[in-house]
Chains A and B, each alone.
Chain A
Amino acid sequence: MKIREILNLLGGKILCEGVSLDRDVYSACASDMMSDVLAFVKDQAVLITGLCNPQVIRTAEMMDMVCVVFVRGKVPDQTMIDLAQEKGITLIASPHRMFAACGLLYSAGLRA
C-alpha cells in the first residue's frame, strides 16, 4: 500500500514528508521498545509506536525504515521532525491507540 493510504486509514496528520506519500510499503513493525524493533530485520518499512523521542527516528534510520506512525496523538518536537526530514523518513501522527492502528493497517493488507 502507499504511505498515503496509511495516512487515510489512520485518520492521521502528516508531520513531515521525508519520503513521498506515493512510496509503496509492504511491511511494518509495532513496538514501544526500540531494541525489540532492532531485533528483527525483515525489511519493514513502517514503524508504529507510542514512544516519542529522537531515538525513535534514529532507530527507524538504522533499520532503513521510511515511515513512522505515532499513535495516541503523540506529536514529536521540531528537532525530531527536522531529523526525520533529513533522513528521508515520513512522519504521521494518528489519534488511534496502538492496537486499533495495527488492526486497521493489518486488515488493509500491511504485514509484519
Chain B
Amino acid sequence: MEQCVHLEFEVAGNNFAQAGLASDQVKSTLKKLGIDPQDIRRVAIAMYEGEINMVIHANGGRAYVDIFVDKICINLIDQGKGIENIELAMTPGYSTAPDDVRALGFGAGMGLPNMKKYTDVFNIESEVGKGTKVEMEIHFR
C-alpha cells in the first residue's frame, strides 16, 4: 500500500508538561490528510496513552509513525525498566504508578487496556531492565 507520511518523535522522559506533543502532531497530520474524525480520535487516544506511559514509566523513548492510505502504524520504543508480567499489566486497573504520578491524573491502570481497545493490531514486547516495544495499527474505516 502506498505510503503517505513517516514521522519520528523523541519523547522526553523528564518532561511531563510536554507529554502529548507527539500525539498532538500526529493528530494534526491526520486532520490535514482528511482522515475521518472517529479514526483520528482512536489514533490520538492510543498514541497519547503510549506516549504518557513512556514518560511516566520508562523515562522517555521514541515514537515511529507510518501513515498509509488505509491505516497508521505506530511503534513506541523505550529503553526503560521494562514490564515483568505483560498479562498483569494489561489488566484494567493494574498500575505501579507512584502517588506523585496519580496526583497528576495518571495511574488508573487503564492506559494499556485503552490502547488495545482502540487499535486493530496491538502487540507489546518487553524485557525487564532492557525496555519495551509497543506496536499498534489502526485501520481507517
Contact = CB atoms under 8 A, between A and B. Distances in A.
A59 B110 CA distance: 14
Contacts of B41: 41, 62-64
Interface size band for A:
20 to 34
A55 B45 contact: no
A49 B117 CA distance: 24
Interface string B23-37: 110010000000001
Contacts of B44: 61-62
Nearest to B51: A58
B114 interface: yes
A108 interface: no
Interface string A61-74: 11110000000000
In terms of DSSP, what is the predominant structure of the interface of chain A? helix
A58 B108 CA distance: 17
B: interface residue count bin? 20 to 34
A58 to B, nearest CB: 4
Contacts of B19: 55, 58
Interface of B: 16-17, 19-20, 23-24, 27, 37, 41-42, 44-45, 48-49, 52, 102, 104-111, 113-114, 117-118
A59 B44 CA distance: 9
Nearest to A77: B17
Interface in A23-42: 32-36, 38-39, 41
Interface of A: 32-36, 38-39, 41, 49, 51, 53-56, 58-59, 61-64, 79
Given A38-B114, A58-B20, A64-B37, A33 B105 contact: yes
